[in-house]
């Protein structure tokens, strides 16, 4: 019976989509609007540039500049700096994707890759400051949310660090030859388009499911946003529209962004699917990141709003 549960679950969802096709279609349209207005413009350039920089040797550069700090703070090899900084700049699920790439190339081992996925897979400034700050019509709120999100990621990284500090980088072998720039750029853009389409596909899918649930979600605004955000990040943040920026509303938003939503976790499982990296630590990291971000944001908002 257990092996048939995935099939039964998908059949149940398919039945819901057929029976409630109208609300599902409206939810999907709203998901497409979020993709067109926010996700595609912000993620595609970041994905393309991140892929390009990675192919041009960014791991070596970041490892040299911030390798010592990564070793002392997180007890990971210097190559982990790439996953940390690109994760905080490019947004979900870029951090996990970079950690998986580092593991595939042999720059980090499996335990290190799992720890990196736990605290390096974060939301980026384009979404937090642009989208979340825009919901509250406050750049200050967006900056606070991004600062506390980054601080929460650092906190989780310290909590999850290994007892022993890695004193040597994993990438001790000879550096690979860089392909011609035109070829590298084309490959980076193609990979970025594929990643962006995958992210938007998840947003539309979960938007359809939320469209079915929305008529039955007679909850207070903050609770409604939490339920939406548990499933899908963009919908949860959008549900905060109309709320004034304050300690409670911003803390709930920080919790939603830090958790990322089931949609983000599915995206992360997708980028880790061809590796043996476990997602368990990533799930724990996202839950803790949301919790710490909410606490830091609540305290910060007491002084700023």
- How is the chain split into domains, by residue range? 22-166+180-304
Write down the mean pLDDT value for the chain: 85
- Give the Cα-Cα-Cα angle 197, 203, 207 (nearest 5 degrees): 145
Task: Please report, rounded to a whole number, the percentage of residues in the chain having pLDDT higher than 90.
Answer: 29
State residue 222's pLDDT score.
Answer: 92
Q: In terms of pTM, does the model score above 0.85?
A: no
> CA-CA-CA-CA torsion for 201, 126, 104, 172, nearest 10 degrees?
170
| pLDDT confidence tier of residue 294, bands split at 50, 70 and 90 | very high
Does the pLDDT at position 282 exceed 80? yes
Does the pLDDT at position 171 exceed 50? no
| pLDDT confidence tier of residue 115, bands split at 50, 70 and 90 | very high
- Give the Cα-Cα-Cα angle 282, 279, 118 (nearest 5 degrees): 20
Q: Could you report the per-residue pLDDT of 58-76, keeping only the tens digit for each?
A: 656 766 777 788 888 888 8
Q: Would you call 175 exposed, middle or buried from its count of C-beta atoms within 10 A (0-12, 13-18, 19+)?
A: exposed
In sign, the C-alpha dihedral spanning 35, 230, 110, 157 is positive
Q: Could you report the per-residue pLDDT of 84-104, keeping only the tens digit for each?
A: 888 888 788 888 988 998 899
> What does the block give as tokens for 40?
């595609």
- What CA–CA distance (Å, rounded) separates 128 from 130? 6
DSSP H helical segments within the chain, as ranges?
Answer: 5-19, 21-34, 40-55, 58-74, 80-90, 94-104, 110-120, 125, 133-135, 139-159, 181-213, 221-231, 233-238, 247-259, 261-271, 280-304
User: Do 297 and 155 touch, CB atoms closer than 8 A?
Assistant: no
Does the pLDDT at position 258 exceed 60? yes
């Amino acid at each position: 019976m257990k092996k048939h549960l995935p099939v039964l679950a998908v059949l149940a969802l398919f039945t819901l989509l057929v029976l409630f096709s109208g609300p599902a279609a409206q939810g999907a349209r709203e998901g497409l609007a979020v993709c067109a207005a926010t996700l595609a413009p912000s993620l595609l350039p970041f994905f393309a540039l991140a892929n390009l920089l990675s192919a041009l040797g960014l791991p070596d550069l970041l490892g040299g500049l911030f390798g010592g700090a990564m070793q002392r703070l997180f007890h990971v090899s210097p190559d982990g700096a790439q996953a940390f900084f690109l994760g905080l700049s490019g947004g979900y699920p870029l951090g996990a994707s970079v950690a998986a790439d580092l593991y595939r190339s042999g720059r980090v081992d499996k335990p290190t890759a799992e720890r990196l996925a736990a605290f390096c897979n974060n939301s980026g400034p384009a979404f937090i400051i642009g989208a979340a700050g825009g919901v509250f019509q406050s750049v200050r709120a967006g900056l606070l949310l991004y600062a506390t999100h980054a601080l929460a990621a650092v906190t989780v990284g310290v909590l999850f660090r290994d007892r022993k500090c890695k004193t040597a980088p994993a990438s001790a072998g000879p550096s690979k030859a860089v392909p011609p720039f035109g070829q590298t750029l084309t490959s980076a853009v193609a990979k970025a388009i594929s990643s962006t389409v995958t992210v938007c596909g998840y947003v539309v899918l979960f938007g359809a499911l939320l469209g079915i649930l929305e008529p039955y979600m007679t909850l207070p605004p903050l609770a409604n946003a939490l339920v939406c955000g548990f499933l899908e990040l963009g919908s949860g943040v959008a549900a905060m529209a109309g709320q004034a920026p304050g300690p409670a509303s911003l803390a709930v938003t920080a919790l939603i962004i830090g958790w990322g939503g089931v949609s983000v976790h599915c995206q992360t499982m997708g980028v880790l699917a061809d590796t043996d990296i476990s997602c368990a630590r990533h799930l724990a990291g996202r839950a803790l990141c949301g919790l710490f971000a909410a606490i830091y944001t609540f305290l910060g908002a007491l002084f700023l709003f």
